[in-house]
Chain A
Amino acid sequence: MKKIISALFLITLFVNACGGEKTDISSGDSAKEKLAQKFGLTSFEYENGIGPVKEKITLGQIDMIKSKTGEKIFTEKCTQCHKLDERYTGPALRDVISRRTPEFILNQILNPEEMTKRHPEVKKMLAQYATQMTFQNISEDDAKSILEYLRSVNK
């Protein structure tokens, strides 16, 4: 079984590599793709994280109702490790929306274990903070509410 998987993986890599040659993309994208490939990721994953969110989402105005719900969930499930303005168990989060894409934030909330194992940025964080971000059993909907809250606190 493992052999089949690695064979498939190689084939996928090969196909991807060929695909890269043919499609007409800008040199910047191609550099990004190469970098992502170095870590075994797609360029989407490199930029937006690995997890259930697999394509860009569109964000409108901040939804204040969702943001209120998000604040409540954030207090219950995140504040034991995160503060807005100071380092605690994990990094301060006031400006996280400026540092990461919304999709990255969602994937990090929903899929912390795989993110820590495979994503180079999150691996770096593990080295810095020593504790892996914990899986908090949060639904995708609730994670989106937390995202609205994090957007609302950004200065």
Chain B
Amino acid sequence: MKGKGIIISFISILTTALIIYNCSGGGNSSNFSDAASKVYVAPGSYDEFYAFMSGGFSGQVGVYGLPSGRLFKEIAVFSQDPETGYGYSEESKAMLMTSYGFIPWDDAHHPSLSMTAGEHDGRWLFINGNNTPRIARIDLRSFETEEIIETPNSGGNHASPFVTENTEYVVASTRFSVPIINKDVPINTYKENFGGTISFISVDKNSGKMNLAFQIIVPGFNYDLARPGKGLSHGWAFFTSYNSEQANTLLEINASQNDKDFIAAVNWKKAEEYVKQGKAKTMDAEYYRNYYDEEKQTAFSEVNKKVLVLDPKECPGMIYYLPTPKSPHGVDVDPTGEYIAAGGKLATVIPVHSFSKMIKAINEKKFDGEISGIPILKYDAVIAGEVQDPGLGPLHTEFDGEGYGYTSAFISSEIVKWKIGTWEVVDRIPTYYSIGHLMIPGGDTKKPWGKYVIALNKITKDRYLPTGPELTQSAQLIDISGDKMKLLLDFPTTGEPHYAQAIPADILMKNSKRIYELEKNKNPHAVKSEKETRVERSGNVVRVYLTASRSHFKPDNIEGIRTGDKVYFHITNLEQDWDIPHGFAIKGLNNSELLIMPGQTKSILWEPKQVGVYPFYCTDFCSALHQEMSGYIRVSPANSNVPISYNK
């Protein structure tokens, strides 16, 4: 009898819980325990996917696991990182050089994985800096930034850095048109003086080295997003634009007048031919390319002074405008390459263009006039279909490879699933709140991995414990393996996640670097054994060549430094064991600590201003005797005779 009572009360508790849950409207995950088991990655087990999410205004890239949503690493890209010394250390400072000087921050938007044959190959990750136009390349063996190239003749590098089918190019364009070449003109001369550019940056297929191959001068609209074609449409790239009104003030009203703006369709293979034929003009420009030399473990800058520019007026057949309602934002190409879906931000439908209709329309010259040598194709001649009732403010579309598109709708905070070909909406799910981009693993490739869609939300409001006025950003993991989308998990992200990419873990794991081999360390300031450690003075520059190993620095007692000296610490981590970094910090260091990986050498400048004895220590808990891993430096007055000395 007692047992029965317990069962009955259990059932009633369960029922009550279900009722409460169903009334709370917590968000469409029909069964919490079911959802929990789908995102649970047991301690010591690995996630199925790596996800790379833009850090937005943090300037970095976050590396997460899916389906758990766990954060593994923030890769320092455009912003200085005091945790590792990136952008502070002597070796890495050059990475953040631009034609505007040293810029320690940017607004990172769109991570893009490199591709081979239209599929993610796991070699590199590219990401744009929106503010000071740049593109970075991250090496996915080391998860470190290896190269940053500036794009000249650009303002707001937003439509970037989307990758062609075999990573022939990453593309870029101007969100904010500017005078090309930039000059001092009244802002209200926008229509005469302002222009846009579309840039193609080639990527060396072995080294990954980026080179600004050519730019196309285009009318001064705001080019917003891009997607190269694939499969059928390989050889083309598509760029959305808004502000075809060419307004220069109060754009929210003045750039929302026209019923249709444009998608620019660029035949880049044709552009390559024109470059080969010498149709490109050489224009003066100044832009930096910064690269990290892995052997020297040092970043270097090269300054480029010329750029090849193509003018559509002189290059027929290279670029066309596809009229597209209304201030379109995203432009996304389905896995076959036939369909080009636009996120008509202010439109009431999702217009989907057909690539083969576009080619036919070009051949049959179904034009509606032209702008600056760019023919405008007739809307009816290129449109494949319109998704009706797609939610308010459709922005971006990803594909599952099963015949469906998934579009984010910002204003109505939802994801809308629609069928390619019939254009009917088959499912929709709310997001919390104000979704921007969305991402399906491989959802921009010829063969999506599918399984999940991630909502990248702009606003979280009441979803998490409040943390003052500034709240966390957020992603939501949604199961798309069945007919109905199911919300599985909310997880916070750092910075503002714009776009993201995901790739099966086993593609990257096997190549992940563990150490830097000491033998290959060609840093000019490396010391390979304690025997080589030393302190050298030359004028007021002192170089301290230190080694770090568990659990001491060598040398650890240094004298003969004077106020006003420039002291460079060059520290080599002699360890060759995985996961044994050492840190370095000294009292009064004005820049940042260093985190030095096994076999790596890093350098930092310290300028002592006051006499005294300064402790330094290892900041990364390395061993049981980590607390002992420390030393002292004696700083004497500027005119002192204390000679340089150190323990050998």
Contact = CB atoms under 8 A, between A and B. Distances in A.
A, B assembled together: yes
Interface of A: 75-77, 79-81, 89, 130-132, 134-137
B518 A131 contact: no
Nearest to B599: A137
A136 B580 CA distance: 11
Interface stretch (B455-463, B466-474, B528-536): B528-536
B574 A80 contact: yes
Given A75-B529, A80-B529, A89-B550, A136 B625 contact: no
Interface size of B as a range: 20 to 34
By CB atoms of chain B within 10 A, which of A75, A80, A81, A136 has the most?
A80
Contact of A79 (B529, B552, B576, B577): B529
B530 A134 contact: no
B631 to A, nearest CB: 14
Given A77-B574, A80-B549, A136-B575, 19 more contacts: A76-B518, A76-B529, A77-B529, A77-B576, A79-B529, A80-B529, A80-B530, A80-B554, A80-B574, A81-B549, A89-B550, A130-B623, A130-B625, A131-B624, A134-B549, A134-B577, A135-B576, A136-B577, A137-B518
B256 interface: no
Interface in B571-589: 574-578, 580
Contacts of B35: none
Contacts of B528: 76
Given A89-B550, A134-B576, A79 B624 contact: no
B340 to A, nearest CB: 48
A130 B625 CA distance: 7
Interface string B529-568: 1110000000000000001011110100000000000000
Contacts, number: 51
Contacts of B530: 79-80
A135 B551 contact: no
Interface in B583-638: 623-625
B515 interface: yes
B506 interface: no
Contacts of A137: 515, 517-518, 576-577
Contacts of B531: 75, 79
B550 A134 contact: yes
A131 B618 CA distance: 15
Contacts of A89: 549-552
Nearest to B626: A131
Contacts of A79: 529-531
Contacts of B580: 134
Nearest to B549: A80
Nearest to B580: A134
B576 A80 contact: no
Nearest to A112: B577
Given A80-B530, A81-B549, A81-B550, A134 B518 contact: no
Nearest to B623: A131
B437 to A, nearest CB: 40
A130 B624 contact: yes
Contacts of A80: 529-530, 547, 549, 552, 554, 574
A75 B554 CA distance: 14
Interface in B196-224: none
7 contacts: A80-B547, A80-B549, A130-B624, A134-B575, A135-B577, A137-B517, A137-B577
Contacts of A81: 549-550
Contacts of A130: 623-625
A79 B531 CA distance: 8
Contacts of B554: 80
3 A-B pairs closest in CB distance: A137-B576, A130-B624, A80-B549
Contacts of B575: 134, 136
Interface in B170-228: none
